[in-house]
Structure 1
């Protein structure tokens, strides 16, 4: 099922997984997230012996205008304290520490890829891992100069770092990305456009 499939107003969350040379499998989540979207691309790496890459996507029913109006008021840039992106990274590493994974370090190329594509999603209003030009998380990271393998979490409509992280951690696919001990680096972007906020986590296996 393509990552940019049409969204419906109501209905269960669907996650479609696909791995090279393996049949497709379908699963339904029992939990619904009210008024928000989340999409995930998963990549799993194995050290030294090569790479096994899998892809999955999940979409949650979109919220209404009132939800978006509330969203823009919370974690927007310009407020005192850590940036929304720094908060997300700190929360990611807190979860990874509890799972026994090493902390992720901020990577400039992944951050650039996340920022540039988040602008595209905000401008087009489309939550998808595939860009209008056909770009993918991997190709966007490579265009920014990052040559290792990547995975990506994206979300729309969450007002702050805490709520988007809660949404990701409550979704098995997104949680798997965050707690994948093979990832070593991360880039995060938050875009507080009027039709958002929009969030991206790009994960990388490092050099």
Structure 2
């Protein structure tokens, strides 16, 4: 895998190409964990889920608050639907962590987050990343289409 540049420092905004690298890296790390756990279905990056995850990471960054609730009171299910994805089940992980590798290690060491990552029923993933005011703030959104 090519070297991934470090996340931008606080106050910097990651260019779109760099953010896309983080999305791909997290998705690859998720699928590596799913293979180890015996999942036969690997998650595919979905642009609608990524849109929902990215908007939530940016919202958390603006507020400097790690939470599953949006500033408008929304939860992940509503944000996923608003992005145009019709789901039958979903899960969300959020974190503040310096890198894709570090955030995945933290999520894998947390039972609830690990459960989302290793839920073999999920088929799609979206990943959000924001470091405009600090962080970086990460969001994973998992879902299975309806």
User: Aligning the two structures, in what range does the TM-score lie when normalised by the shorter sequence?
Assistant: 0.7 to 0.9
Whole-angstrom CA distance in 2 between matches of 1:178 and 1:109: 18
RMSD: 1.8
Question: Per residue, is there more helix in 1 or in 2?
Answer: 2
CA deviation vs aligned residue, 1:112-169 (integer Å, no higher than 9, x gap): 101111111111111111112110000000000111021100001x111100000000
- Pairwise mapping of residues 19-98 of structure 1 onto structure 2 (< 5 A)? 74-76=6-8, 77=14, 83-98=21-36
Corresponding residue to 1:198 among 125, 129, 137 = 137
User: Is the counterpart of residue 154 in structure 1 residue 94 in structure 2?
Assistant: yes
User: Is the counterpart of residue 123 in structure 1 residue 62 in structure 2?
Assistant: yes
Q: TM-score, normalised by structure 1?
A: 0.60
Q: Is the 8 A contact 2:56 2:128 kept in 1?
A: no
Q: Is the 8 A contact 2:58 2:129 kept in 1?
A: no
1:103 corresponds to: 42
1:174 corresponds to: 113
Q: CA deviation at 1:189?
A: 1.2
Whole-angstrom CA distance in 2 between matches of 1:130 and 1:159: 22
Whole-angstrom CA distance in 1 between matches of 2:64 and 2:79: 18
Whole-angstrom CA distance in 2 between matches of 1:122 and 1:194: 6
Give unpaired runs (5+ residues) of structure 1.
1-72
Number of aligned residue pairs:
133
Q: CA deviation at 1:172?
A: 0.9
Q: CA deviation at 1:177?
A: 0.4
2:11 corresponds to: none
Q: Is the 8 A contact 2:62 2:133 kept in 1?
A: no
